[in-house]
Amino acid sequence: MQNKKFMGLDYGNSRIGIAFSDNTGTIATADSVYKCKGDSEDLKYLVRLAKENEISAIVLGLPLNADGTESEMSRRVQNFGSSLQDLSHIDVFYQDERYTSFEAEEYLKEAGLKWEERKKLLDKVSAQIILQNYLDEKK
């Protein structure tokens, strides 16, 4: 069976949440939070991470306005994604990420975590939700 492992990213100005799927591309798991150091270094890190994990595709959360229109941040994410695809030679797909941070926050609250603990986990749980939504829509 061919590897169908995906990497999900919740891109932000200061942090990037990272999640991975299993080898069948069915279940997303939160992995880590990367502190941004500038696009060039960030891209190098993510390309290396994708190669090390034998990723077949990358899913980037696309921050749209509530009405579904693009924002300045969504254009920034698409530029970053385009550079990531060019450097990694791995397909980059976009997933609407509206309300994923809220969903992640609610999930972590239900788990009984204090704000300080939730803050540390929020970006990677958001990446997990973005990736899982993408995987579910592909079925």
Prediction pTM value: 0.93
Q: Dihedrals φ, ψ of 53, to 5°? A: -95, 10
19 in Cβ contact with 130 (< 8 Å): yes
Please list the pLDDT of the chain residue by residue as tens digits (139 residues): 467 999 999 999 999 999 999 999 999 999 999 999 999 999 999 999 999 999 999 999 999 998 989 999 999 999 999 999 999 999 999 999 988 888 888 888 888 888 888 888 899 999 999 999 999 998 7
Query: Which positions ≥6 away from 57 have C-beta within 8 Å?
Result: 6, 7, 90, 91, 92, 93
Q: Which of these CATH numbers, 3.30.420.140, 3.40.605.10, 3.40.50.1000, 3.30.450.20, describes 6-138? A: 3.30.420.140
In the chain, domain spans: 6-138
**Looking at this protein, which amino acid is placed at residue 118?**
R
